Structure 1
Amino acid sequence: MTVREVEVHGARIRAHVTGDPDAPPVVLLHGIARSLEDWAPQHERLDDDYRVISVDLPGFGLSDPLPGPPSLDSLAAGVEDTLVVLGAGRPAHLMGNSLGGAVAMRMLCRDPGAARSLTLVASAGFGREVTMALRVLAVPGLGRRLMRRFDRRVSAQVERNLFVDRALVTDERVEFGLRVAARDGYAAHFLATAKALGGIRGVHPGWRTELLARVAELDPPTLVVWGEKDLILPAAHLRAARTALPHASFHLFPGTGHMPQIERADEFAGLAREFLKQA
């Protein structure tokens, strides 16, 4: 996989770009504490018809944070500015997994003309419930102590929580998680982002309510998918998505965890291609 870095407001932002530069752009956004590697299988499955762009959100993966405190809005702005530097066309098909789904929705709300469609993959924003592993980070002092204990055992457990298929919990993924967590300033950025979006009681309702109301008002072509056995954001959120976005399309992947774009790569790509053709 060929990855490049671009400079955005003095920060180095990591990006993976494949496909014809003149093809319609598809932008792939990962979740909290993750990286563009979570979308790697979809590049080769989509880039014969699309210009496929995945990025490390500012401050995550191997990207630098941008100036100022992290928030959903600042992450969306950072992606927008990165796409400008990359010369990405407009409008783009936005695909987001977990936090990346919320970032994609925020990008739509910031500039409706920049988004041709939304594909929301186990997206944050549809409910309060979230894995306890993220909730406890909001407890004063506890989050910092837990991040200091992030070792190979913890990194492996993080990966196991993401997939039903244990074959996907590879040494490569575990080692990359350790590499990311060891970066200077990473823990502080992660904790600040988690606290901006949720707390010990779960995902904050304020930003969710406002965001979903605006997305429903704009009503772009939208596909919402979930894994039946998601341990991070429960599949019950798919029902909430049906209520919030009644005109969207929906799909539940049986026997699948938090990342169907990896665990059901071929099926996901087929579903996404059909949706993108019609969007």
Structure 2
Amino acid sequence: MRHADVRGTRIRVHETGDPEAPPVVLLHGIGRSLEDWSLQHALLDGDYRVISLDMPGFGLSQRLPAPTSLPVLADGVWATLDVLGTGPVHLMGNSLGGAVAMTMLASAPGRVSTLTLVNSAGFGKEVTAALRLLAVPFVGRQMLRRIDRVTAPRVERTLFADRALVTPERVAMAIKIARQPDFLPVYLEIAKALGGFRGVGAAWRSQLLESVAPHVKPTMIMWGERDMILPCAHLEAARAAFPHAQSHMFARTGHMPQIERPEEFAELVRPVLARVSV
């Protein structure tokens, strides 16, 4: 675990495996951190250079100067990978991280070897009420300021079908992240850029899917059937957008299959990664 200097911004990075092996890049969701991918490092780094990072303004990374948007986040991740010295990468994104991964593919298709989308944003209007409320003036700001030992466990419980995964460590990390100076403005910026009280915006979704359609890569799309954030019905729209992709629905699983079903997750993505020699 270290911080990389990316255009004068400190970006937190976790890197394991052989530096000469094909790189796998893991992207987290809104308001989250690289800890959401920690279990996959040990499952994949025997054959790959596994890189997870706190995207700019999230986790323990500093924000970039521009208002936070999908292109800004995608550019920040590419800039981080430039500092780390990677060639083409296998991209995996959970939730917001999936939308960022698709934006990265659209902006630099030659740098992407495979794409794995996990309960990804971008495939439907429906989203948890908590994220829709962030668009209400003053309400969202107050909600984000009140992430503490009472509210943080409630938020964590919405992410998992297995409540045992709401551990003291995860709650403590959520509170630590919420206390970072960039957390509140960055969260509100990206939430408002992507949607409002009525749900996830349609315009950016259509534009993004149109922009990635010409760039066919080996693709895996996964969803947890008990996702309370982005409903599993979105998987059908994802399959339609990526007709060439493989897909999988995890039974009795919430918003983060990479945590709730770590071994099964790794077994499913390995054949996709193996289809391309980076």
Shorter-chain TM-score tier: over 0.9
Residue-by-residue CA offset, 1:220-249 (whole Å, 9 max, x unaligned):
111000000000000000011111111111
Letter in 2 for 1:128: K
Letter in 2 for 1:44: A
Distance 1:147 1:213 in 2: 33
List aligned pairs for 1:85-96, cutoff 5 A.
85-88=83-86, 90-96=87-93
State the partner residue of 2:68: 70
- How far apart are residue 148 of structure 1 and its match? 2.0
- How far apart are residue 278 of structure 1 and its match? 2.0
Q: Secondary structure at the match of 1:120?
A: strand
Distance 1:136 1:28 in 2: 28
State the partner residue of 1:219: 216
State the partner residue of 2:206: 209
List aligned pairs for 1:68-147, cutoff 5 A.
68-88=66-86, 90-147=87-144
Tell me, yes or no, if the aligned pair for 2:114 and 2:272 is still in contact at 8 Å: no
Letter in 1 for 2:14: H
State the partner residue of 1:18: 16
Q: Secondary structure at the match of 2:208?
A: helix
State the partner residue of 2:35: 37
List aligned pairs for 1:124-203, cutoff 5 A.
124-203=121-200
Distance 1:148 1:42 in 2: 31
List aligned pairs for 1:258-273, cutoff 5 A.
258-273=255-270
Counterpart of 2:56 (choices 54, 58, 79) is 58
1:250 aligns with 2:256: no
Q: Secondary structure at the match of 2:90?
A: strand
- How far apart are residue 188 of structure 1 and its match? 1.4
Residue-by-residue CA offset, 1:173-216 (whole Å, 9 max, x unaligned):
00110011011232111111110111111111111101112222
Letter in 1 for 2:45: D
Q: Secondary structure at the match of 2:4?
A: strand
Q: Secondary structure at the match of 1:94?
A: strand
State TM-score, norm by structure 2. Answer: 0.98
Tell me, yes or no, if the aligned pair for 2:153 and 2:171 is still in contact at 8 Å: yes
Letter in 1 for 2:79: D
Gaps of 5+ in 2: none
Distance 1:216 1:253 in 2: 26
Letter in 1 for 2:84: L
Letter in 2 for 1:152: R
Residue-by-residue CA offset, 1:6-63 (whole Å, 9 max, x unaligned):
1111111000001111111100000000000000000000000000000000000000
Distance 1:148 1:75 in 2: 23
1:232 aligns with 2:238: no
Q: Secondary structure at the match of 2:252?
A: coil
Instruction: Tell me the number of residue pairs that the alignment of Structure 1 and Structure 2 aligns.
Output: 276
Letter in 2 for 1:125: G
Distance 2:102 2:5 in 1: 24
Residue-by-residue CA offset, 1:109-164 (whole Å, 9 max, x unaligned):
00100100100000000111111110100011111121222221211011100011
Q: CA RMSD in A?
A: 0.8
Distance 1:71 1:204 in 2: 13
Greater Cα offset, 68-77 or 206-215:
206-215
Q: Secondary structure at the match of 2:204?
A: helix
Gaps of 5+ in 1: none
State TM-score, norm by structure 1. Answer: 0.97
Residue-by-residue CA offset, 1:54-94 (whole Å, 9 max, x unaligned):
00000000000011100000000000000011112x21000
Q: Secondary structure at the match of 2:150?
A: helix
